[in-house]
Amino acid sequence: MRDLQIQVCIRVSKLHRKQGWEVALMDRDQQLQALCDSGVVAVIRARSVDELTWVCRALAEGGVKGIEITMTSPGATEAIYQVSKLLGNEAIIGAGSVLDPETARIAMLAGADFIVGPAVNLEMIKICKRYSKIVIPGAFSPTEIITAWQAGADVVKVFPATKLGPSFIKDIKGPLPQVRLTPTGGVNISNLGDFLKAGASFVGVGSALVNKEAVAQRDSVRLTKLAADYIEAARLARKSQA
């Protein structure tokens, strides 16, 4: 069974390379489009640089190309630097839990292609625009969403998504169809399709994808299979809308 899983993961990895995921050659707008096309961004919190590195590789092998390393993880800056070098042509690496422009700049210098925050910080948005990096601030209310978008956010993170649900995304997209939204917090393989169908550009998935047991056991095959399952779920959800 394990050998079969390995073969499946290898085929998935080859498929995504054939589909043109040479992300190191992408400019900012192409990277943003790639995140939206994928439908899933992994949100990773880990205990060490080594753990972050192999987890990112396992997820990328499964087709999850948007990888957000939270700045609350030990050695996050070093991990962003290492993973960017290791997976520079396979994944789009971002920094999460960024609270201020200073932290955003540090993450950019380490190699982050996108910056994600839990709330709206106008100075953080400004510095990301200055250096032409994708910026995704967090918001909870319509007022916060509009404030972030008008300030230049590329996507607005709806957080925590579990408190609002897919219907909130649909309701916001009614009067604000131009605003890209990414629900994060409580998203899993069972509800990601509902969020995408409601109008989300992509979803952010944490522990439901970055399985704690698989990480503890250093089971990269299991993580890669989970990543492939999430990408397939997103593809099917999008297909049902066509």
- For residue 203, what are the β-bridge partners? 40
Q: For residue 193, give both structure tokens.
A: 């399709």
CA distance 158 to 203: 9
157 classed as catalytic: yes
Are 46 and 214 in contact, with CB atoms under 8 Å apart?
A: no
Catalytic residue from among 65, 133, 157, 225 = 157
Tell me whether residue 213 is one of the annotated catalytic residues.
no
Secondary structure percentages of the chain, helix, strand, coil, to 5: 50, 15, 35
Catalytic residue among 68, 90, 133, 225: 68
Which amino acid, residue 17? R
Longest Cα–Cα distance in the chain = 51
Q: Are 120 and 144 in contact (CB under 8 A)?
A: yes
What residues are labeled active site? 68, 157
